[in-house]
Amino acid sequence: MLKQNRRNLIQYARKKEAAELAEAKARLRQEQAAPPYESWNDFLRRHADQGDEAALAVLRSRKQSVELEDPSITPRPPALDNIKAEYAEKQVEVLADTDQSRKGKKTLLAYLRMEEVLKEEALRGLAVRPEDMTRSVDAKGAVVFTLPGGGKVRDTGKEVLFSGADELAAKVAEGYARKKWGTQLSVYKNCVRFELKHDYSLKSHKKYRDITR
């Protein structure tokens, strides 16, 4: 019980930190859009030099404090930062809700995760809204999302399954898995799993492919 409580507290603290960082990014992006116009890196450095702790936190959160910006890459729209901030805060609220059971929190977090994925993908041209899908929990406790056209995405906890012949389901499932676990993923047929860097059990299978994008 103590170990589980400690794990829950750590998860809450991390989500809270992520929410604060996402909110800071969204606010700073809006400020960056106003004159004087400058790159994201220059903007962050200038504000950090002026003592802005939020800008400093954003810089520290990046793999490198100074990144060379590739002009060929389309800048990330501020709306994406707003979505991340919105859902990071919602996740914190779920974790802080003492009236929800651990199982109930996991289900609600899965719902929020999928909503966030669909809203982010909508900015990239995916014509599927959260209200276009249905969601449920099956007899084994897996969270099931049914997309327009009948394709399904199923989160069992340890893996994310999707309708094998449905391209939309495959795309959404990979986005959902990245949102849940990051980029250390492997896909085999209609299954996405988390894979540690030192775990070669999945990589040994030629049909697995890493998701690094």
More confident residue, 84 or 148: 148
Is residue 110 domain-resident?
no
Is residue 199 domain-resident?
yes
pLDDT digits (tens, 9 = 90+) for 1-34: 545 555 555 555 666 666 666 676 676 677 666 6
Mean pLDDT over residues 56-65, rounded? 56
Is residue 125 domain-resident?
no
pLDDT of residue 95: 81
20-54 b/e (C-beta count within 10 Å ≥ 16 → b): bbbbbbbbbbeebeeeeeeebbebbbebbeeebeb
pLDDT of residue 212: 38
Residue 149 main-chain phi, psi, to 5 deg: 100, -10
More confident residue, 126 or 48: 126
**Of the residues 96, 112, 145, the one at which a domain ends:** 96
Give yes or no for residue 83 having a pLDDT over 90.
no
Shared domain for 5 and 87, answered yes or no, is yes
Model confidence at 63, pLDDT cuts 50, 70, 90, reads very low
Shared domain for 17 and 68, answered yes or no, is yes
Give yes or no for residue 61 having a pLDDT over 80.
no
pLDDT over 90 percentage in the chain: 33
Q: What are the start-end ranges of the H helices in the chain?
A: 2-32, 40-49, 53-61, 78-96, 102-123, 167-181
> In the numeric block, which tokens belong to residue 61?
């959160």
Is residue 210 domain-resident?
yes
Shared domain for 149 and 65, answered yes or no, is no
pLDDT of residue 165: 86
Contact 33, 78 (CB under 8 A): yes
Shared domain for 4 and 72, answered yes or no, is yes
Is residue 10 domain-resident?
yes
Shared domain for 90 and 143, answered yes or no, is no
Based on the structure, what is the number of domains in the chain? 2
What is the number of alpha carbons within 13 Å of residue 178 lying toward its C-beta?
16
**Of the residues 52, 76, 96, the one at which a domain ends:** 96
Is residue 126 domain-resident?
no
- Residue 65 domain boundaries: 1-96
Is residue 54 domain-resident?
yes
Is residue 118 domain-resident?
no
Burial group, residue 102, by CB count within 10 angstroms (0-12, 13-18, 19+): exposed
pLDDT of residue 90: 85
pTM of the model: 0.63
CA distances, 94 to each of 91, 105, 118, 191 (Å): 5, 6, 20, 27
**Of the residues 96, 117, 150, the one at which a domain ends:** 96
More confident residue, 95 or 188: 188
Shared domain for 88 and 139, answered yes or no, is no
Residues making up the chain, counted from first to last: 213
Pairing mode, if any, of strands 143-146 and 152-155?
A: antiparallel
- The DSSP 8-state label assigned to residue 201 in this structure reads T
Burial group, residue 153, by CB count within 10 angstroms (0-12, 13-18, 19+): buried
More confident residue, 19 or 63: 19
The answer to whether the Cα torsion of 200, 202, 208, 210 is positive or negative is negative
* Mean pLDDT, rounded, of the chain: 76
Shared domain for 136 and 92, answered yes or no, is no
Model confidence at 86, pLDDT cuts 50, 70, 90, reads confident
The C-alpha angle with vertex 107 and arms to 80 and 26, in degrees rounded to 5, equals: 20
